[in-house]
């Protein structure tokens, strides 16, 4: 490194400091414009985008429907992270202005839920599915769920940002986060060497939360970093990731609120099962 950065006594934000999302990132919270959220006919209203965090929720909703829970019917509305997440209606549901956000209108008082892990827990407990009830299995499921929630920022905000999105390639930053991502993959690989799924023999919300991040990373679909990370080394992660990718509900869930990639893989909104059927036909 040829330049030495000396932090100032007090940091000052400079707009347009580089990177793909520089035009919308600011060090303040709250609504930036008035915009009410649309509401569909189903009790569950999801406001999201098909990033890994958004895919967690649509995969679970499709798994619940496939498992015979008609109450999991939902409307999924697209929230593009180009500034739409700062609309007043969305901020009222999620003051952190991050997707996904859910409003459960099935009871007398609407319930807002934000943070993908909280949404998964809310839905799993609501329908009594994909979250074990036996104490040991439940503890394992929640441990891996929270492991994912705590680890993914290193993968997304750390490795993904500096490897794929930063305006310049910084060797120190890429090396630092690559080391951590490979360590995390090794944690998963060693565990999955002796366990079919993360919480044991049952497929749970821990798998649903982890797959869009680490499963798709191992399959070479996230950041197109498979060769760089030598993902072929993590054979047990690949076995697990490929098995989950074959699930019909996963294939349905990943396209909901997708607004990038090939047009055939995009479904901006979902209001009925037939919306996905038509796209996958």
The answer to whether the peptide bond before residue 100 is cis (omega within 30 degrees of 0) is yes
pLDDT over 70, % of the chain? 97
Per-residue model confidence as pLDDT tens digits over 172-187: 999 999 999 999 999 9
pLDDT of 241 above 60? yes
Model confidence band, residue 16 (pLDDT cutoffs 50, 70, 90): low
**Alpha helix locations (H) across 110-223?**
116-127, 135-153, 171-192, 205-210, 216-218
If one counts every other C-beta atom within 10 angstroms of the C-beta of residue 63, the result is: 25
Superfamily designation of domain 44-130+256-280: Glutaredoxin (3.40.30.10)
pLDDT of 264 above 90? no
| Domain at 135-246: CATH code | 1.20.1050.10
Going from N- to C-terminal start, the domains of the chain cover 44-130+256-280, 135-246
pLDDT of 152 above 80? yes
* Spatial contact of 103 and 93, defined as CB atoms under 8 Å apart: yes
Averaged confidence pLDDT in the chain:
95
Mean pLDDT within 239-264: 96
* Spatial contact of 76 and 55, defined as CB atoms under 8 Å apart: no
Residue 281 confidence (pLDDT): 87
């Amino acid at each position: 490194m040829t330049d030495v950065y000396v932090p100032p006594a007090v940091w000052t934000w400079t707009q347009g400091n580089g990177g793909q999302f520089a035009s919308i990132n600011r060090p303040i919270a709250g609504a930036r414009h008035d915009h009410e959220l649309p509401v569909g006919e189903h009790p569950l209203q999801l406001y999201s985008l098909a990033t890994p965090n958004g895919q967690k929720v649509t995969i679970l909703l499709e798994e619940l429907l496939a498992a015979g829970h008609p109450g999991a019917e939902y409307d999924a509305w697209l929230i593009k992270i180009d500034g739409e997440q700062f609309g007043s209606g969305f901020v009222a549901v999620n003051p952190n202005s991050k997707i996904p956000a859910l409003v459960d209108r099935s009871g007398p008082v609407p319930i807002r839920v934000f943070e993908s892990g909280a949404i998964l827990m809310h839905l799993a407990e609501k329908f009594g599915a994909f979250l074990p009830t036996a104490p040991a299995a439940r503890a394992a499921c929640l441990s891996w769920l929270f492991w994912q929630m705590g680890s993914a920022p290193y993968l997304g905000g750390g490795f993904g940002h500096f490897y794929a999105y930063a305006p310049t390639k910084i060797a120190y930053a890429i090396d630092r986060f690559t080391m951590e991502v490979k360590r995390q993959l090794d944690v998963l690989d060693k565990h999955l060497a002796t366990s079919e799924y993360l919480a044991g023999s049952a497929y749970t919300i821990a798998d649903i939360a982890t797959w869009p991040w680490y499963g798709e990373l191992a399959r070479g679909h996230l950041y197109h970093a498979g060769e760089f990370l030598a993902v072929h080394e993590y054979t047990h992660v690949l076995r697990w990731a490929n098995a989950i990718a074959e699930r019909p509900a996963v294939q349905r869930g990943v396209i909901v609120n997708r607004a990038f990639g090939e047009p055939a893989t995009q479904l901006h909104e979902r209001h009925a099962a037939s919306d996905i059927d038509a796209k996958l036909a």
